[in-house]
Amino acid sequence: MAVSVPKKKFRALAWVGGLALIAWGGTASASTDGFPRGGDGWLERASGMQPTEPADAILVQTREWKWNRYLKAALHLPDWLDLGLEHRTRFETYDHPWRRSQPAGQTDSQIQQRSRVRLGLNGRHVKFLFEGQDSRVYLDGVESYVTTAIRDEMDVLQLMASFTVNNALEAGFRTDLHVGRLTMDFGRGRLIIRNDYRNTSNAFDGVHWQLGRDKQWRVRLFLVEPVLRDVLQPNEQSKRSVFWGSSFEINYMPRVRLNAYYFGLNDQRGPEASRHRTYSTFGTRFYDDPKQGRIDYEIESVLQTGKRGYVDHFAHFQHIDIGYTLNLPWSPRFLIHYDYASGDRNANDNRHSAFDTLFGARRFDYMPTGNFGPFFRSNFSSPGWRVIVVPCLGCEVQLKHRVWYLATSLGAFGRNGLHDPTGGSGNFLGHDLELRAQWRTNENLEFELGYTHWFKGSYFDRLPDSAGLPPGGNRDSDYFYMQTKFRL
């Protein structure tokens, strides 16, 4: 896609201006949380450098909204007014595509850009938030893998009001009510998340309520309509798709943290009744945070029941991590993983058993997504290991390896369009090796790059011609990306 000269000039000015403001804020100094904080420049002393807690603070990860507001400080805006800008650019490329939608089998290279603007009014008990998002892709060709998960131009990501009481019932409880369009993180994000690596993010229209005490425990309830993304038109919700749920979190027990949740989905969109979904999803998650010199773990188990079209739906997902962090320089951490997601054995019987990950993300567990991301949380069994080191302040390097099998050789390979209903292609999908490096210079500037080699398994050699595998799709794929993000 061609880019006009004025747009190029605007982006260049934005980059230069952003970097100049970040540098002007002062030099970085060490902090106890492992990342640099701002120095003692004039911007740090100005009002509003660190934002007042916004309307979505308890809905999403802190990193999604907490950074130094250089632009706000430069404009001398009052404390109760929040203004923040964010831009991310990522180049990514991979060869030997395997999807049916890419019949020529050509290398897919893209530049993905995501820009966000936050504007908030932060009172003590009542807050308002607008967040706009613009997600674009360049260099894409006719057969490039581009969906609404990658492109969604000029839309509203969040538009909400929140109401907070900090000492409800005079018992030290905090309660929050959110109304409008919002994003949400639940647990690790395998079922509901505000997407980070992906170029677009999940959003919902409706209400969310929570009651909790400090960081010890909290209860959350929500009733929403998922927002349907469109490449060019304004995003809308559908009254034929309703999503609701509850979650309970306990964080005060030693070495044991607990999440328990229930999510309900009634999705009757589309003319094909066989694709309608009415699911109840029940899950529990136990975990312990990593610390030097001791073992940590994470166990999540999910059960899913309901209807898929006219047939019964019963599926499940299991995840386990066991890790250990050495008390050595670079804090090396070693982990072993195992994931299992059930698949559907027979598309023509009276039971559907392919697990549905709802509105979750995959990148942190499996592979980079973007235009790559071959593995979905459905019909697979995968053991693996990972090593993480911190060689410098704000840096992190990971080396990961996973082996991939279909949970049932009779089921489809995720959402890639590949399926051998006879099971004759077997279930070995291969294994991958990933190297990833991140450098967060401060809260406002980040760099990241990564490389993945997917050694494809015998499944791709045995697929029948009717499966639609592109030419060369059985050959190993190499994926490379580099990205930068800055915030003002």
Domain ranges of the chain: 5-487
- H-assigned helices in 26-144: 42-45, 70-74
pLDDT given for residue 170 in this prediction: 82
Predicted pLDDT of residue 464: 95
CATH of 5-487, one of 3.90.920.10, 2.40.160.100, 3.40.50.1820, 3.20.20.70: 2.40.160.100
pLDDT for 253 equals 87
Q: Is 187 helix (H, G, I), strand (E, B) or coil?
A: coil
List CB contacts of 172: < 8 A, sequence separation 6 or more.
213, 214
What pLDDT was estimated at residue 406?
A: 98
Cα distance between residue 334 and residue 265, in whole Å? 37
| Positions of the chain with pLDDT lower than 50, given as ranges | 1-47
Residue 24 confidence (pLDDT): 37
Please provide the DSSP assignment of 339-373 as one string. EEE---S-TTSSEE-----TB---TTTS--TTTT-
Would you state the pLDDT for residue 107?
97
Q: Per the structure block, which two tokens stand in for 211?
A: 């009651």
pTM over 0.75? The answer is yes
Q: Is-contact 242 207, C-beta < 8 A? A: no
